[in-house]
Chain A
Amino acid sequence: MKKIYILISIISINTIAADYEPYESSYEPLPYTNTIFKNANIYDGDGKEFIETDIIIQDGKIIAIGKELPRSNELITVDATGKWITPGIIDIHSHMGVYPAPSVKTSSDGNEATSPVTADVWAEHSIWTQDPQFALALKGGVTTFHVLPGSANLIGGRGVTAKNLQRNTINSMKFPDAPHSLKMACGENPKRVYGNRGQAPSTRMGNIAGYRKSWIRAKSYLSKLDEYEAKSDEAKELSYKPTRDLELETLAGALRGDILVHNHCYRADEMAMMIDVAKEFDYKITAFHHAVEAYKIADLLAENNICAALWADWWGFKHEAYDMVQANVAIVDQARNGTGCAIVHSDDEIGIQHLNVEASKALSAGIKAGYDISKARAMKWITSNPAKAAGIYDQTGSLKVGKNADVVMWSKNPFSVYALAEKVYIDGALAFDKASGLEPNSDFDVGIINPSNRRIEE
């Protein structure tokens, strides 16, 4: 009794004493499962392939990759003969949590479609952490995902990058030190949503005017902020800090480059215009999303150092998605002597479970179009390139010594439809293990069909 009391008081003291910032990540990994994988085939996520090579993960990090690394008693040995190891898969476009399953009105929280500019909202404040989709994505090898608000609005709000380690608060899933993102959307969606209500924007020119008006306000807010921040401490006391404005704080963050701009945009001509808007207001577009027509302006994207996050083959559901080319990903990848940044994304609760196969389709289309692209390079599309676009490449996205041990072991070459993720590690801790049946189940999955079972239990 006494012991428990002491324990509780320590915990409460710690909670109070901790340097706790609101909305900050409180993520902690699972207990490390320090492991040596023997004899694995490896795609490192940076474009290299290693055959029959060992890899050691320890205390959350990748500590060695090489032939015949020494076993030790502190390491679990996994015989990876015939298996493939890749970095954890990263989905740069997910709506898990904000459009959870079941897809019902009561938890459909991805679009604050009440005004065309809602830069003040944050996707993380909508995420339902019991969404059963997280665990399904984990079984598809996804260790990190970036959740965006929907595309009803010109400026839809902040996105968030999370570790796929399901917890019951979003802060405990947020990827430490990952920048926020800003979701913007071109084209049909905003003009349809607001045009149908007889308000602006109802046209593409209305869309562009909407962004520009917002950036003008943001610029002026930012200059006031800069002016205030440049003052000496004494001068600051004599003046007022610009009043906080949630919307303009986000936009100013994007202008400063602290918040990465992710822009939903299908058509080539619109992407070119958005590049102009970015030039006019001096901000950087990190990635265009969906970008069905990216192949038409692949060089322009490469020159401007903008990634394109793409599907392998979706088309035709909207007019702006009509000009689908399956080699889109490859054409973007190969632009300007292979300096393009191509990403395969899902935007879909099923697609996120099979990003390896989506990349495989895109690769095979690229080869058919005449490009010489290796599987090792194509692996970048779902690992290091999305890591760069999420601003977390220094921590994850490739198997480099010193980086986080976000690792997937596949039953066979991951570019096959038959490949299954057998083991998934997040920060060097085993989070999914097919052989032992270790897998997370959300609260939603518990006892919902048969009270004694989990949802998908036989």
Chain B
Amino acid sequence: MIKHKILLVLSLIFFNSSLLEAKSTVIKNATIFDGIEDSSYNGHILIEDGYIKKISKSSMIQGDKVIDVKGKIVTPGLIAPDTEIGIVEIGALNVTRDDESNIYDIGFSIHSAFNPNSTLIPWNRSNGITSAITLPRNTSSPIGGLGSFFILDSKMNINSNADMVLIGRLGGSGSSSRAEMLSLMDDILSFGSSLSKKDIGSDLTIDEIIESSSIASYLDLKTRDVKTLFRLFDENLPLIIKSHRASDIINLINLKKKYDLNLIIMGAQEASLVVDEIAKNDIPLIINPINNIPNSFDELASNINLAQRLEKEGITMMFNVSRDHNYHLIRQGAGVAVANGLSYGSAIKALTSNAAKVFNIDKRGSIKVGNHGDIVIWEADPLEPSSLPEKVFIDGIETDLTTRSTRLRDRYTKDLEKPNTYRN
């Protein structure tokens, strides 16, 4: 009986101390690229209760767990602004794709399809991505489909910001003129901007509005589509339009002015031809800095120095990748951009704080007091794809960096005397 009591006390102490251990962590002797300043500084970071509590120049800073990183680079967790994480497991396997709708259009949300057990989550996390925006495939109309922001912590209790961005596209389609696409976009926006809070009060009123609008009935809009259009204007929701050609970018800028849109242009391979207009109208871009291929007649001006050109004009940029799954390769893209003239500080911001700013992601994307503890400790330079994260924290908790890929690697490099199916 006494023994049991001692055990109980001991286990309570143990339990408490393990809780305490998770409570606060100090990352000591870090070279901090905070995502705010252009250059790094040396300091010590205290993370407590999931948040960055203190950033100190003095090593006297106390915590339950102290990690001395000995001068290694520490950055905010990277934010990938254009992914299919959680909604596409295998590209060419339709039963694993949840990025398309046959019924909904403008208001199609992928949020409920998100799979926190997707293998893409640990894979991208182990490469430094701590959160991502997941976007559906483009719908049939030029504006359509809602993206959501997800924290990549693999928890079943999904931490996300649902339906926080609307997407669209403008460009050569091969089926009908881009002029038609632009007019349709204009008509949809005109219809959306006319909606009032009263209009969307009940589904019945929405049905009536759809019926009385030629464009809404032609597009066969559903109530969720109309509600989404209302949100676009009411909340000034970020609107990402995929577009490349310089003349299309100008047309989009005109639409932005006409409807006061919160416009972000993605792709923008010909942005260098119209940088002045983009800068003047303060339009953030999502570009793939490694893509210099004139892959279509909309992208003839593709150039490896795009990121550097944008930086010169003070244009806010974020990065994406051209292929699926390896969204962390925005690091490699950033490295290539730096090799071709982009400053290092701007490259780090493009991977972290710019997305937080542009998409109103609260308290993430930079290392500052009060922000969530999304932090990556790097083996070496984060822009060298050969260097990997040593530790990744999400909401102040150190995450597991094991992936299916490292498991398979170990299976085929260890315990080889056993048949493969009997190895770990």
Contact = CB atoms under 8 A, between A and B. Distances in A.
Interface of A: 101-104, 132-133, 136, 188, 192, 295-296, 298, 313-319, 322-327, 331, 349-350, 353-354, 357, 360-361, 363-364, 368-370, 415-420, 444, 448-449, 455-456
Given A327-B413, A331-B413, A317 B290 contact: no
Contact of B384 (A192, A322, A417): A417
B412 A296 contact: yes
B106 interface: no
A346 B92 CA distance: 20
Interface residues of B, number: 45
B420 A364 contact: no
A44 B353 CA distance: 42
B297 A104 contact: yes
Interface string B405-424: 10011001100000010000
Instruction: Give the interface SS of chain B, mostly helix, strand, loop or mixed.
Output: loop
A361 B409 contact: no
B166 to A, nearest CB: 27
Contacts of B413: 327, 331, 369-370
A316 B385 contact: no
A327 B410 CA distance: 10
26 contacts: A101-B294, A102-B294, A136-B292, A188-B92, A295-B409, A296-B412, A296-B420, A298-B412, A313-B326, A314-B323, A315-B325, A317-B91, A322-B90, A331-B409, A331-B412, A349-B295, A350-B292, A416-B384, A417-B336, A417-B384, A417-B386, A418-B338, A418-B339, A418-B384, A449-B300, A456-B292
Given A295-B409, A420-B340, 4 more contacts: A103-B295, A314-B326, A319-B93, A349-B293
Q: Which of A102, A415, A449 has the most CB of B within 10 A?
A: A102
Contact of B303 (A315, A319, A349, A456): A456
Interface string B320-343: 001111100100100110111000
A316 B324 contact: yes
A347 to B, nearest CB: 11
B295 A316 contact: no
Interface in B301-321: 301-303
A455 B386 contact: no
B92 A417 contact: no
Interface in B329-361: 329, 332, 335-336, 338-340
B291 interface: yes
A417 B333 CA distance: 9
Interface string B212-240: 00000000000000000000000000000
B46 interface: no
Contacts of B119: 316
A456 B93 CA distance: 38
B296 A316 contact: no
A317 B386 contact: no
A417 B405 CA distance: 23
Interface string B384-408: 1111100000000000000001001
Contact of B273 (A331, A448, A449): A449
